[in-house]
Amino acid sequence: MSALTDLLAFQRETEALAQVMGRLGWDQETVMPKGAAEQRSDEMAALESVLHARRTDPRVGEWLEKAEATTEAEAAQLRLIRRGYERAMKVPADLATALARTTSLAQGIWARARAADDVAHFLPTLEEVVNLRRQEAAALAGSDGTLYDALLDDYEPGMSGDEIAALFDRMRPRLVALRERVLGQGTPPKGLTGAFPEDRQLALAHEVAGAFGYDFLHGRIDQAVHPFSSGSGKDVRITTRVDEGEPLGCLYSTIHEVGHATYEQNIDEAYGLTALGQGVSMGVHESQSRIYENQLGRSAPFTSWLFNRMRAHFDDIGLHDQAAFHAAVNRVNAGFIRTEADEVHYNLHIMLRFDLERALISGDLAVADLEAAWNDRFEADFGVKVDRPSHGMLQDVHWSVGLFGYFPTYSLGNVYAGCLNEAMRRDIPDLDAHLAEGDPSPATFWLRERLQRHGGLRPPRETIMEATGGEISEAPLLDYLDAKFAAIYGV
């Protein structure tokens, strides 16, 4: 057998074990008994220890030295395996295990603190998570890199904090100007009213997920505090959440997670359980969830179809025409919650988190001062005082599980989605007619063929540029937002 064959067989087993660990994470957020948290942290730590040992196995280095690729896919696999091996070799095994154990426990502690609006209950755990991640970042960065960039590279390879900051500096003025124009119009659109039982919301969520191409033979929808997608290949699960007073949260969380899930489901089957068998980066992943949710799911043609489905499921929803429903779906207000934010405000939520977590990792902001820093920044950016911690620094699960460097990929995903939407609509001039029939399939097929099926074959930026045939820029996103909300609000 060749070095390449041995390496790829070994990698396949590593990928399979990583999927098992991911399934434990899904279970923890959906159906795991509350009393099992401590045992689960030991299970996660044990699996991480096994995975770290495999990722740093000396044979991987020997195989990489000898392996020769004969195809583009083999060359890409070697590139990704080498990158993973070099990063894993820099992180001590005991640190990797400690991180897995601590973040597994921290998730439950965060959930209880969030439910009780008790920041003090969470701070000691968050302090421990931040310290561990800073140790990991120092190991990865070495003497030449920065701590935050070392962590960001886990989620968006090749991107730096300075590049993100420059992007946000370019985006902020137009976003703030658009917000001021929209909010200056006075009375916001009317919202939905009526009865929205959980079973009917979930029934409509399943219907909409199917319309966007989610494969239920290889997936399922469950409920979680914080919606997410988990898995790849032939087992890709999503979660949503239900508020019986507000059905749009369930519907659009579902569409968002279906964007993630169908990316994983549509990757070429030949890449299953290989280094190419997952989305190439979180920014590219977010481009899929955001374009499904916003440019497709919140478009006027699709909401005209959804309006009729809403009335079929819930009877009276308090709105009597498609235009009013479209305005309600795209209502702009300075709300507290990122996952419920409108498209105008969403990136401002990300900018806040990016600046705070970058300061935490650099040591410029102490964990003990995070709540005050969050509240001050939120009031400055949104003009509203945070009323309780679950509407502030406790609202997101990310920091509890150590995902520092993850947040900016949401805005990168929005930028990528803007570029993809521009190219897609150029190629599918009659797309709106299909969306008005509740049929996004021309768009989802275009995304599958241009981007999703390739998995990790190309680096993130190259993936987007190959799909769109052009350079990456924030301009298409900002132009789309200006045009859309000018039409809705008459500004």
DSSP states of 64-108 as a string? HHH----SHHHHHHHHHHHHHHHHHHHS-HHHHHHHHHHHHHHHH
What backbone torsions phi and psi does residue 239 show, to the nearest 5 degrees? -130, 160
Question: Which single residue is written with the structure tokens 């390879």?
Answer: 157
Question: Which single residue is written with the structure tokens 């009375």?
Answer: 187
Non-local CB neighbours of 341 within 8 Å, separated by 6+ positions: 335, 349
Q: What is the pLDDT of residue 225?
A: 81
Q: What is the pLDDT of residue 340?
A: 87
Residue 149 to residues 174, 362, 459: CA-CA distances in angstroms? Answer: 26, 10, 17
- Where residue 231 falls (left for φ over 0; alpha for ψ -120 to 50; beta otherwise) is left
Question: Do the beta carbons of residue 324 and residue 190 sit within 8 Å?
Answer: yes
**pLDDT tens digits, 441-463:** 999 999 999 999 999 999 999 99
Q: In sequence order, what are the beta bridge partners of 62?
A: none
Token pair listed for 439: 């049929």
Question: Do the beta carbons of residue 256 and residue 205 sit within 8 Å?
Answer: no
Q: What is the pLDDT of residue 188?
A: 85
User: What is the rounded CA–CA span in Å between residue 165 and residue 161?
Assistant: 6
Q: What is the pLDDT of residue 187?
A: 81
Q: Residue 71 CB: number of other CB atoms within 10 A?
A: 8
Q: What is the pLDDT of residue 312?
A: 96
What mean pLDDT, rounded, does the chain reach?
96
Q: What is the pLDDT of residue 217?
A: 97
Token pair listed for 261: 């899930």
**pLDDT tens digits, 199-233:** 999 999 999 999 999 999 999 999 988 899 999 99
- Where residue 269 falls (left for φ over 0; alpha for ψ -120 to 50; beta otherwise) is alpha
Q: What is the pLDDT of residue 142?
A: 87
Which helix or strand (DSSP H or E) is residue 229 part of?
strand 229-232
Q: In sequence order, what are the beta bridge partners of 239?
A: 222
Which helix or strand (DSSP H or E) is residue 112 part of?
helix 93-116
Token pair listed for 391: 């509407």
Q: What is the pLDDT of residue 144?
A: 85
For residues 60-82, average pLDDT: 97
| Residues designated catalytic | 257
Q: Which DSSP string do the residues of 8-72 spell out, in sequence order?
A: HHHHHHHHHHHHHHHHHHHHHHHT--GGGHHHHHHHHHHHHHHHHHHHT-HHHHHHHHH----SH
What backbone torsions phi and psi does residue 13 show, to the nearest 5 degrees? -65, -40
Q: What is the pLDDT of residue 153?
A: 96
pTM value is: 0.95
Q: What is the pLDDT of residue 151?
A: 98
Among the residue ranges 20-29, 69-78, 439-448, the one predicted with the least confidence is 20-29
**pLDDT tens digits, 387-407:** 999 999 999 999 999 999 999
Token pair listed for 47: 């699996």
User: What is the rounded CA–CA span in Å between residue 75 and residue 60?
Assistant: 15
Q: What is the pLDDT of residue 4?
A: 97
**pLDDT tens digits, 149-208:** 999 999 999 999 999 999 999 999 999 999 999 999 878 899 999 999 999 999 999 999
